[in-house]
Amino acid sequence: MSWDPRNQGDEKNIEDVIRQAKSQFESMKKRGKGLWTLVIIVLIIGVGALTAAYTVQTGHRGVLLRFGKFAGVVTPGLHFKIPFGVDRVIDVHTEKVETEAFGFRSEGPGVRSKFRKDTEAAKESTILTGDLNVIDMEWIVQYRRQDPRKFLFSIHDPVQTIRDISETVARQIVGDRSFDYVLQNREEVSRIFQDDLQKILDEYDSGIKIGGVRLQNVVPPDAVKNAFNEVNEAQQEKERLINEAQETYNRQIPQARGEAERLINSTQGYALERVNKAKGETARFSDVLKEYRNAKEVTKKRMYLEMYREVIPKAKNVYVIDSKQKTILPMLDIDKLGSRSGGEQ
């Protein structure tokens, strides 16, 4: 029944019209409420379906939290979780290599060729060595998040922890060694640095893997650089003089030793010759003495004639002196006498 204004005078009809209108309104209200409920349910299901699916990229790991508590580590790929905040996934890049610089700062993101050194960076790089010298050492630490669960929950601030431990290890290593050792053994110092840093991080159960420690710049501080250069020049001059002295030593000593060996051998030969000659003369004298004792006159005369024969040819002038002669006999010409003696007896 529809409402007709011409029937305004009929109150009964008006009440029926009002009652019918209310009934229609209540019916429409119930149908609208059910429709909105259906729409809300569909939206909730859609949102839940969309938020339940998620993807972990290659090289990443997903740490799954259920009601805020660790529930597992998710590998790369498509996965599903309980929506509406029951499950939450934290993405961790486990293959990316991060770098922390010590002793210098980059000018800006992506700028690798320009660096600056502020006051705080200078404090990081200034280290006291074991021989009480000061060294300016800059280095970088490369690392990656090997275990995402440990990286997120074992330590509060992993990056700051790496920086603090790196500075501690650097000061300990340099403080136990001399200035020259650090300058001349950078590769060895880097290896020890990496091993010690990794050992401490493992003790903290940090889940961090150190990829490498590299010393960028190892020099004396600017305040003492000139004095250090002078010391280096003096050291190089000292090394040069030592090398020259060693070269002279290597050249002169063998020569002197050879000359000494020659003189020793010559002396030993001369001594052997003299000893043998003395032994021969002794033996000859002994033989002559023996003969002299057997025939004194004959041996004396023979010895006199042998000596005469040896001395006369060497004399240029010969004077004959007779004990009974009052004057000296004329001088004999030895050359003529010798030429005569050669032709006649």
318 is a domain residue: no
- pLDDT on residue 320: 64
Residue 128, CA distances (Å) to 132, 220, 246 in order = 6, 11, 35
pLDDT value of residue 29: 61
End-to-end CA distance of the chain: 202
Same domain, 110 and 213: yes
Same domain, 200 and 128: yes
Output the pLDDT for position 344. Answer: 41
Q: Classify residue 65: in a domain, yes or no.
A: yes
- Confidence at residue 53, expressed as pLDDT on a 0 to 100 scale: 81
Residue 345 pLDDT: 36
Same domain, 201 and 174: yes
Q: Is residue 62 part of a domain?
A: yes
Q: Give the length of the chain.
A: 345
Task: Using DSSP, state whether 252 is helix, strand or coil.
Answer: helix
pLDDT of residue 110: 54
What own/partner pairs with CB < 8 Å and gap ≥ 24 does 60-65 have?
A: 60/91, 60/92, 60/93, 60/94, 60/95, 61/91, 61/92, 61/94, 61/148, 62/89, 62/90, 62/91, 62/92, 63/89, 63/90, 63/92, 63/148, 63/149, 63/152, 64/88, 64/89, 65/89, 65/90
What six digits make up the tokens of 45? 């299901």
pLDDT of residue 12: 56
In a domain, 268, yes or no: no
Same structural domain for residues 36 and 121? no
- Which residues in the chain land under pLDDT 50? 1-3, 5-9, 111, 339-345
| Per-residue pLDDT, 26 | 64
pLDDT value of residue 61: 93
Q: Give the total number of structural domains in the chain.
A: 3
pLDDT tens per residue across span 295-343: 777 777 777 788 878 777 777 766 666 666 656 555 555 555 554 444 4
Q: In this predicted structure, what is the pLDDT of residue 328?
A: 54
CATH value at residue 176: 3.30.479.30
pLDDT tens digits, 236-247: 899 899 999 998
Do 70 and 108 fall within a single domain?
no
List the structure tokens of 181. Answer: 């050792």
Q: 140 and 39: one domain?
A: no
Residue 344 lies in a domain: no
Query: Do the domain assignments include residue 244?
Result: no
90: left (phi over 0), alpha (psi -120 to 50) or beta: beta
Is there a domain that residue 259 lies in? no
Domain identity same for 102 and 212: yes
Query: Does residue 119 sit in the same domain as residue 78?
Result: no
DSSP conformation class of 57: P
For residue 85, being part of any structural domain is answered with: yes
Mean pLDDT of the chain: 80
Helix (H) or strand (E) holding 66: strand 60-66
Same domain, 113 and 210: yes
Range of the domain at 149: 98-219
pLDDT given at position 180:
86
Residue 276 and residue 280: Cα distance in Å, rounded?
Answer: 6
Cα–Cα separations (whole angstroms), residue 28 to 33, 36, 42, 106: 9, 12, 21, 69
**pTM of model > 0.75:** no
